[in-house]
Chain A
Amino acid sequence: EAGVTQFPSHSVIEKGQTVTLRCDPISGHDNLYWYRRVMGKEIKFLLHFVKESKQDESGMPNNRFLAERTGGTYSTLKVQPAELEDSGVYFCASSPGWNTGELFFGEGSRLTVL
C-alpha cells in the first residue's frame, strides 16, 4: 500500500512568486493534515481536512496560504505570494479517522524562498 506522497520534494522560488505543494494521502484516509517546520522551530499544525471540508484551519498563518482538497482525495497548498519567512518543510499527514491517534506522514516538501 502506498504511503502519503508529497510533491515536489524541494522547491526553490523567488520572493513574490507562487508555489503549489501537493499531497496524496493514503487511499481511504478521510482525514488529511498539513504541518510545517520553519527552520529551527517546532513542527506546527496548519490545517485539517475531513474529506473535502476544512475541519480546522486555525494554524494557517495568513491569507497568502490557500489549501484545497477537491473531491476529498489529494490536497494542494498554495503560497501566493511567497515571502522569505515561508521557507521550511511542509509535511502532509493522513489518518483514517479523526481521533485514531497515529498520523501517517509524507516525506515533506522543502520550500526555499530567496
Chain B
Amino acid sequence: SQQGEEDPQALSIQEGENATMNCSYKTSINNLQWYRQNSGRGLVHLILIRSNEREKHSGRLRVTLDTSKKSSSLLITASRAADTASYFCATAQRGNKLVFGAGTILRVKS
C-alpha cells in the first residue's frame, strides 16, 4: 500500500500568496520529512518533524503533524517564483529508509 500521499497533485498560485500542501500516510512513523525537487534536479531536504512534535517552522516554511490522523501539512508563506518545484513528503519508520508520496507540483506565477 502507498505511504505518503500528497494533495493537491498540482497547485498554481500568484507570487506573494501562501501555498498549502497536505500529506497522508498509513503506518506509524518515526519522523516525516518534506523535500523539494526543482525540474531535472535532485531532491533537497526542507524540514523534518518528529513523531512527538506537532509543529515546526523554518523560515517561510511551517509544517504540522497530526499523528492521530496520520497527516501532515506544509505551508509556504509569501511564495516566490523560485518556489516553483515539486514537493514530496517522506516518512521514516526506522532509520533513514524513506517512503515517498507522489508529490505536489507547485507553480508560483509572477
A binds B: yes
- A residues contacting B by CB (< 8 A) are 4, 31, 33, 35, 41-45, 48, 56, 91, 93, 95, 97-108
Q: In angstroms, how far is the closest chain B Cβ from the Cβ of A111?
A: 14
Q: In angstroms, how far is the closest chain A Cβ from the Cβ of B24?
A: 13
- B residues contacting A by CB (< 8 A) are 2, 4, 30-31, 33, 35, 40-45, 48, 88, 90, 92, 94-103
Q: Are B33 and A102 in contact (CB under 8 A)?
A: yes
Complex A-B, nearest 8 residue pairs according to Cβ-Cβ distance, in ascending order: A43-B100, A107-B42, A105-B43, A105-B42, A102-B45, A101-B48, A98-B95, A99-B95
Q: In angstroms, how far is the closest chain B Cβ from the Cβ of A29?
A: 11
Chain B neighbourhood of A102, CB < 8 A: 33, 45, 48
Q: Are B100 and A98 in contact (CB under 8 A)?
A: no
> How far apart are the CA atoms of A82 and B108 in the complex, in Å?
38
Q: In angstroms, how far is the closest chain B Cβ from the Cβ of A85?
A: 18
> How far apart are the CA atoms of A48 and B100 in the complex, in Å?
15
Closest A residue by C-beta to B5: A42
Q: In angstroms, how far is the closest chain B Cβ from the Cβ of A35?
A: 8
Q: Are A108 and B45 in contact (CB under 8 A)?
A: no
Q: In angstroms, how far is the closest chain B Cβ from the Cβ of A10?
A: 10
Closest A residue by C-beta to B50: A101
Chain A neighbourhood of B44, CB < 8 A: 105
Q: Are A41 and B96 in contact (CB under 8 A)?
A: no
Closest B residue by C-beta to A107: B42
Q: Are A103 and B42 in contact (CB under 8 A)?
A: no
Q: Are A108 and B42 in contact (CB under 8 A)?
A: yes
> How far apart are the CA atoms of A101 and B95 in the complex, in Å?
7
| Candidates A44, A91, A95, A100; contact of B42 at CB < 8 Å | A91
Q: Assuming A91-B42, A105-B43, is B101 touching A99 (CB within 8 A)?
A: no
